Chain A
Amino acid sequence: MNEALRQANRRLTVRLLLLVAAATGFAFALVPFYDLLCRVTGLNGKTGGAVQAAQALEADTARWVTVEFTSTVMPGMSWEFRPAQTRMRVHPGEVTRISYLARNPTNQATAGQAVPSVSPGWTARHFNKVECFCFQRQVLQPGEVKEMPLVFLVSPELPSEVQEISLSYTLFPVSG
């Protein structure tokens, strides 16, 4: 191999290595991008963080929306976890409070984290939470029963064809 070819090979190799580095960077960049995409589009029914109650607008008393509550407990979690009521009718813009009940039947203090999901997914951006037990992890002592509050309001901007929204909480075990 002559020197010119050797150098050309080295140059191309370095460029390809940069491409490998870029592909690796791209893979890691997908993580925040994926999260952003879900948040902006409401894919996966991902809801945002807390909103201020002051943001609450006047309730649209002419309209009713039914909100259904469900719960799922992941494998590895032994809590009992359920909504205090499974459905309720609310006016858009009206601040409403309900609660979920959790009981730790084991003899060990354990921590859990509830992850919310709204269905249909695209209505997630109209479902605003003022206060939620899902904003932080919950710790239950052995045998402890806890009533965990959720304060929410459905935005009056919710398109009028939507008459029902389901809110699902999945409870995951938190280790460490």
Chain B
Amino acid sequence: MTEAIAAVKRDRPPAGIMRWLTTTNHKDLGILYMSFGFIMFFIGGAFIMAVRAELLFPGLQLLAPAMYNQLFTLHALIMVFGAIMPFATGLNNYLIPLMIGAPDMALPRVNNWGFWILPFAAVLLLTPFFLQFFGVGSGATGAGWVMHNTSLDLQSGAGMDFAIFTIHLLGISSLSGAINVVVTVLNMRAPGMTLMKMPLFVWAWLITAFMLILAMPVFSAAATMLLTDRHFGTHFFDAANGGDPILLQHLIWFFGHPEVYIVLLPAWGLIPQILAAFSRKPVYGYRAQVYALWAICFLSFLVWAHHMLTSGLPLAAEVYFMYATMAISIPTSVLVFCWLGTIWRGAMTFETPMLFALGFVAHFGMGALTGLILPDVAVNAQYHNSYVIVSHFHYTFFGGGIFGMMAAAYYWLPKFTGHMFDEKLGRLHFWLTTIFFNMTFIPQWFAGLDGMPRHTADYALRFAAMNFISSVGAFLLGLSQLLLVYIVVKCVRSGPKATGQVWEDAQGLEFTLPSPPPYHTFETPPVVK
């Protein structure tokens, strides 16, 4: 009797806010993670709109340099840790159990804690920023997302402490998520779902999870050392007392470079699936892609100092990091050619997810090619800390990461909501995003080549034209994202009913379920042939 009641209770979530606070259901948590990432995407975007407004014209018009530093620092921290990573985590929460035929994630309670840490981390990060408008404190940290871009990082105010504690919280959250993914993928697969039958998205997340487990503790440790240096009299980075400031850079980038791939790998996993579905072909080079992803994971831990080529490394070390970095282009090329192989001679159609997936391939390709030039020891001295870098990593993070997440959002949105989205508006959103994204970042490439330094609120007159174009592009890019909000809200509320299959040639276990899938799925494992 009690079992029967429990079974009924389990099938129906509690109503209202309590459902979301107490849920351990992977689909609910997936939606929470994705919504959080979606909201933070707009907060991080709003910060950079202010930065671009300051850069619209030469001279200082709107922002004091200290405020400017806070804005770009918060933009970076929010976009990387608040928007892209949580959105990718939301996708894995919702999709991995469906893709491998598991009833839920392996550690559902940990999953709930992992999510509910995030809003507190965001509040902690932003509190000093807003307090300064009431005359409390000196604002948030302005030292850049890797915390060493000002020579005064040890001296800057309480904003840095808030950022350090935020990093600790984010570390706990991402590590719990990563452990959950590994345990789920290794232990919970349906019978017959061998490792080499898993969709590439699951593979990519498994590898991402291992990178998080190995890299995130280094970031937390470096942040802890910075904290004890600031307040508890240790001297890890304090040269006057025998420490070494360059060590901070080494530690941060030992995390920071794998972090780049942590952001990108989930997108690399889902793109081939989308390309395959809309080319009506199987994924090309599945095995090669799995091995390439592992190779990138391995190499990503060996190349960190290419971010520090101007820090006075000896030549031998610089040359090593140059070649090691360039070596990453080999497995990356394997991926890119497999993507092209997937669409090659396919019966392609260009629905919104496919457009974003193709946009991903093109823009990520540009980001990757510019990334092949940057580690060159000889040219790096010119490009280091210039807008060339800014343009390069936005082609990888926005052109790669965000375009990938958008492709995924459009591809699985009908699965999540049970409604088809407005295809016309979706395509319009793609074209607006693509045009204004390039309008924003191509001029930055030229300004950077001409020598414009990053992290500076003002610039020389000769950069004025490029910055004007870039700023206008950024405003329009920001505005066109409001269209995405409209499309998503409209799709959640209404729209033509989506079938279980959603897309004509979509493959995978999740498309064998109705849209939206019932609250509990695969309680009896499916049989995978």
Whether A83 is near chain B, meaning CB under 8 Å from some CB there, is: no
Please tell me if the beta carbons of B186 and A12 are within 8 angstroms of each other in the complex. Answer: yes
Which chain A residues border B312 with CB–CB below 8 Å? 44
- Tell me if A12 and B241 are in contact (CB < 8 A): no
Asked if A76 is at the interface of the complex by the 8 Å CB criterion, the answer is yes
- Asked whether, in the complex, the Cβ of A173 is within 8 Å of the Cβ of B187, the reply is no
Which residue of chain A lies nearest to B186 when distances are taken between CB atoms in the complex?
A12
B103 to chain A: closest residue by CB: A1
Q: Taking A12-B187, A27-B218, A173-B240 as contacts, is the C-beta distance between A17 and B179 under 8 angstroms?
A: yes
Interface residue from A26, A35, A172 paired with B239 (Cβ < 8 Å): A172
The answer to whether A9 touches B218, judged by C-beta atoms less than 8 angstroms apart, is no
Closest chain A residue, CB of each to CB of B151? A75
Question: In the assembly, what is the distance between CA of A26 and CA of B187, in Å?
Answer: 28
Name the prevailing secondary structure of the B interface residues: helix
Checking A5, A26, A115 against B188 with a beta-carbon cut-off of 8 angstroms, the contacting residue is A5
Decide: A44 and B246 in contact? CB cutoff 8 A.
yes
Q: Is A121 an interface residue (CB 8 A)?
A: yes
Q: Are B213 and A35 in contact (CB under 8 A)?
A: no
Greatest chain B CB density within 10 A among A21, A75, A115 is at A115
A20 vs B218: C-alpha distance when bound (angstroms): 9
Q: A115 contacts B239, CB within 8 Å?
A: yes
Contact B247 A13 (CB under 8 A): no
Interface residues on chain A, size class: 35 or more
Other-chain residue from A20, A23, A30 in contact with B250 (beta carbon distance below 8 A): A30
* A24→B247 contact, CB < 8 A: no
Interface string of A44-82 (1 = CB under 8 A from B): 100000000000000000000000000000111000000
- Our pick among A30, A43, A122 for the contact of B251 (Cβ within 8 Å) is A30
B182 and A12: CB pair below 8 A? yes
In the complex, which residues of chain B have a beta carbon less than 8 angstroms from the beta carbon of A122? 314
- Say yes or no: A27 contacts B251, CB within 8 Å: yes
Taking CB atoms, residues of chain A closer than 8 Å to B187 are 5, 8-9, 12
Known: A23-B214, A30-B251, A121-B314. A13 touches B152 (CB 8 A): no
State which residues 155-176 of A face B: CB under 8 Å.
Answer: 170, 172-174, 176
Per-position binary interface string of chain A over residues 88-108, scored 1 when its CB falls under 8 Å from any chain B CB and 0 otherwise: 000000000000000000000
* Contact status of A174 and B314, CB under 8 A, knowing A12-B183, A24-B217, A34-B250: no
Annotate A112-124 by CB proximity to B: 1 below 8 A, 0 otherwise. Answer: 1101000001100
Once bound together, how far apart are the Cα atoms of A87 and B509, in whole Å? 76
B82 to chain A, nearest CB (A): 22
Shortest CB distance B335–A (Å): 26
Tell me if B254 is interfacial: C-beta within 8 Å of chain A.
yes
Contact yes or no, A27 B240, CB < 8 A: no
Closest CB in chain B relative to A123 CB, distance in Å: 12
Which residues of B sit under 8 angstroms from A121, Cβ to Cβ? 314
Q: Which residues of B does A touch, CB under 8 Å?
A: 103, 106-107, 151-152, 155, 175, 178-179, 182-183, 186-188, 213-218, 220-222, 225, 233, 236, 238-241, 244, 246-247, 250-251, 254, 312-314, 317
**Chain A residues engaging chain B, CB cutoff 8 angstroms:** 1, 5, 8-9, 12-13, 16-17, 19-21, 23-24, 26-28, 30-31, 34-35, 38, 43-44, 74-76, 112-113, 115, 121-122, 137, 170, 172-174, 176
The 8 closest A-B CB pairs, nearest first, are A172-B240, A27-B221, A23-B217, A113-B240, A24-B217, A27-B218, A16-B179, A9-B106
